[in-house]
Chains A and B, each alone.
Chain A
């Protein structure tokens, strides 16, 4: 079965390593991910800050494209896109008038039947059970699983995991041999869409959560959202300014961690693209030394 993939803009730009690692592990597990053709931006925070109709029409066009291509499931790895698409589908399903209005605006057929899944649901459904057969080297690290806002809220619409103290990512991490720590900022906001316009706020919010993860002994943070990653990784200078000290804790996408555990190489997973160098403590076996030949993922750029 083919699963639709909506990467979204970040995954094609500043967070391309997320896309690379999603595609890489899908390939490793023989899952047929097909990118939705001619997709547009979901509008992100900007659209729903400025225009309600625009914020519904842009995601509706994406969903309509997915329907046209006949995807039953649409994987949306970016938590922000996942949220915008899910909220749009929910609001249009709740209000027939609004739905008709949006159909008129986008000028396309739209039913609202595509099942939208986030990266954890995708892993849970297609990968978790297979991991043990592909395990190359257990990911023996103390990790802080950071869910952020948009994957768990609003719970009434997304109905994913527990909105307070979620566990789904922790479960996946245990599966690859990691030790997810218990910490207080799992679902606190990192500063989200202020990554360019209010870097001071990003420094403070992200700083607080990096500090808590460090204090509780996490070696790295695991994320599933490009915005969270950008803020925690690329804004490290602002974070260090807020914390008034250096902090070199790496931030990995959940797909990168799985990739490492099944022996994909760092470059395939895009680890070299991170601002904070991914230096992990020795776990008794060296990745580079005994790298196993695993199918090399191909670039998915058009």
Chain B
């Protein structure tokens, strides 16, 4: 005979003001099988929980219904309390009187009656609950980090330094990401390469880190602690073990005029190339789209000159499968090339460039070795106009959001320019200066007050070329929106930061959510900023939203600490609310008829075939078996099963029918 305890919570005024809680407790007391029933102001409070624990012991309860808020809120709280009193936690259920009743109805008898009905259904359910044990799954203590920019580098190093194995996958031939392209960084003006390169080298040399560059994640199976990732290592056409990185091939390659991605088109590279001198690994790859041998079938100069015979023209892509326990996505961002602003002439006028191109112009390792020279004729520009929000905050043509980093890097650009061209003038057209951050505002003030950047509050309407000058037509909204016309030698557009190419496809492959702008979505904007909605997959850096270096690094360390926390256990505990195929006495053994419809519909590949054998080893019957490690409890198989042989534990057909019957019953 069941002995159910029912605990009605007032939730302060939330339930108590609308539902007559004392009456609910009174009526429920009379339901057969209810051994104890009471109400209390705050059931989740310490005294409330004690009330439940004491009642379990005193009345020898076999099941508990807490009628309060949503189980999403406090189910763990009450189940834990029951466990502490010696009751199996899965014998405790919650009736949702707040979201399902008091918040959505007026005060009145009908509302109280509805509350009673809700509690009655749960009582009937709990009578049929059985004790369940949490499922333990092993954890593979190896992390997969996707993307080798500053966030991926930081996350990899932190996890590796915590003593765990890391596989770092980078799409490009070298790690380093956008940070390796930057000249100097705000607000300290320290050289980007100088602080990043040692980290890149550390990644390459770390005993716990396996680095795959020129590689992409193609697929993912499994679940937290037990992922299987498919990685495609694109053919580099060289044998990395034999290649010494001497660079002779890159100097002898006859195809030299390919616009360099690293130099943002401001410099060229050969078809066999290392993206930049500090690249890690410092070994070349062959760009098959431009290589003469691949496109025309003739050349093989690199092969001839290679002293170690490391060129492999016939090298195929390699597909590998790795087992990992956690994943950190650090795929970074891209910039939105402002060709959607025809009025600014980007792509038409050579001297209208974007911010990333300016970084290369200002970089000591860039195409001009750090001298500010305009692309069209190599002359030193004396008037440079910087335009902020060239794509950001522009629902009409660009993107709606603020790209966050542009105000700061534009201020930095004006400084770098003024430090190199003392007699030049830097103009900045801006709408707002967003300089929230440690030493950021001070930095912008310095650009204006000390380095003399001319800030003009207004947007530019159009730019056109005339007699070798770029005529920039803007307005000064602080002077009554007076038109301002500047004859510039060069214009730099602070482009919008957008999600990286292929982010959407990757999100779909990894089964993680993403937002309307195709940035990866965090599990909670405030409290779970580095988690995704998929357990075991974390986020860091600008793949989530535009972020500057300090923020990216902080997020990377945050994600790494989550991974380390996950890896601190050798087993994970999972809720046992999964599907099971029933077993019955011989000679039937199971009502499962072995049609395996369930196997075809299971989204998690959790259903296997199991042979039921007699003692002599003869197969009596083949039935479906659900792998408890893979099953997510979605219930698709239950709905499909023609012989009704599958149930979700905690939500069996039996339980649900009892709930419905309780509602239909008139009292």
Contact = CB atoms under 8 A, between A and B. Distances in A.
On whether A and B touch (CB less than 8 Å), the answer reads yes
A72 interface: no
B241 interface: no
A164 B342 contact: yes
A215 B464 CA distance: 14
A164 B343 contact: yes
B438 interface: no
A184 interface: yes
Interface residues of B, number: 9
A212 interface: yes
Contacts of B462: 184
A212 B466 contact: yes
B117 to A, nearest CB: 48
A162 B342 contact: yes
A212 B466 CA distance: 8
Nearest to B342: A164
Contacts of A184: 462, 464-466, 471
Contacts of B343: 164
A184 B466 CA distance: 9
Interface in B462-503: 462, 464-467, 471
A165 interface: yes
A47 B467 CA distance: 41
A164 B465 CA distance: 15
Contacts of A162: 342
A52 B471 CA distance: 37
Interface string A150-164: 000000000000101
Interface in B329-376: 342-343, 348
Interface in A185-239: 212, 215
Contact of B466 (A164, A165, A215): A215
A162 B465 CA distance: 19
A212 to B, nearest CB: 7
Interface string A138-179: 000000000000000000000000101100000000000000
B342 A165 contact: yes
A187 B504 CA distance: 38
B350 to A, nearest CB: 14
Nearest to A185: B464
Interface in B409-465: 462, 464-465
A297 to B, nearest CB: 38
A42 to B, nearest CB: 28
A295 to B, nearest CB: 41
Contacts of A215: 466-467
Specify the main secondary structure of chain A where it touches its partner.
Answer: loop
A215 B465 CA distance: 12
Contacts of B466: 184, 212, 215
Contacts of A212: 466
B80 to A, nearest CB: 59
B462 to A, nearest CB: 8
A212 B348 CA distance: 18
A212 B467 CA distance: 10
A263 to B, nearest CB: 36
Interface in B584-614: none
A114 to B, nearest CB: 29
Contacts of B471: 184
Contacts of A165: 342, 348
Interface string B390-404: 000000000000000
Contacts of B348: 165
Contacts of A164: 342-343
B318 to A, nearest CB: 46
A184 B465 CA distance: 7
B345 to A, nearest CB: 9
A144 to B, nearest CB: 13
Nearest to B463: A184
Nearest to A165: B342
Nearest to B348: A165
Nearest to A183: B464
Interface in B196-232: none
B197 to A, nearest CB: 42
Nearest to B464: A184
Interface in B503-531: none
A100 B276 CA distance: 68
A161 to B, nearest CB: 12
A215 B462 CA distance: 19
Nearest to A188: B462
A213 B464 CA distance: 13
A162 B462 CA distance: 15
Contacts of B465: 184
A164 B464 CA distance: 12
Of listed B348, B464, B465, B466, residue having the most chain A CB within 10 A: B464
Nearest to B396: A156
A164 B345 CA distance: 10
A205 to B, nearest CB: 13
A165 B341 CA distance: 11
A212 B464 CA distance: 11
Contacts of B464: 184
Nearest to B345: A165
Of listed A162, A184, A212, A215, residue having the most chain B CB within 10 A: A184
Nearest to B471: A184
A162 B343 CA distance: 11
Nearest to A216: B466
Nearest to B341: A164
Contacts of B342: 162, 164-165
Interface string A2-42: 00000000000000000000000000000000000000000
A113 B466 CA distance: 45
A189 to B, nearest CB: 13
B343 to A, nearest CB: 5
B371 to A, nearest CB: 30
A198 to B, nearest CB: 18
Interface in B301-329: none
A19 to B, nearest CB: 33
Nearest to A156: B396
A275 B241 CA distance: 80
A215 B466 CA distance: 9
B506 to A, nearest CB: 33
A162 B341 CA distance: 11
A162 B348 CA distance: 15
A116 to B, nearest CB: 25
Given A164-B343, A184-B462, 11 more contacts: A162-B342, A164-B342, A165-B342, A165-B348, A184-B464, A184-B465, A184-B466, A184-B471, A212-B466, A215-B466, A215-B467
13 contacts: A162-B342, A164-B342, A164-B343, A165-B342, A165-B348, A184-B462, A184-B464, A184-B465, A184-B466, A184-B471, A212-B466, A215-B466, A215-B467
Ranked 8 nearest A-B pairs via Cβ: A184-B464, A164-B342, A164-B343, A165-B342, A162-B342, A184-B466, A184-B465, A212-B466
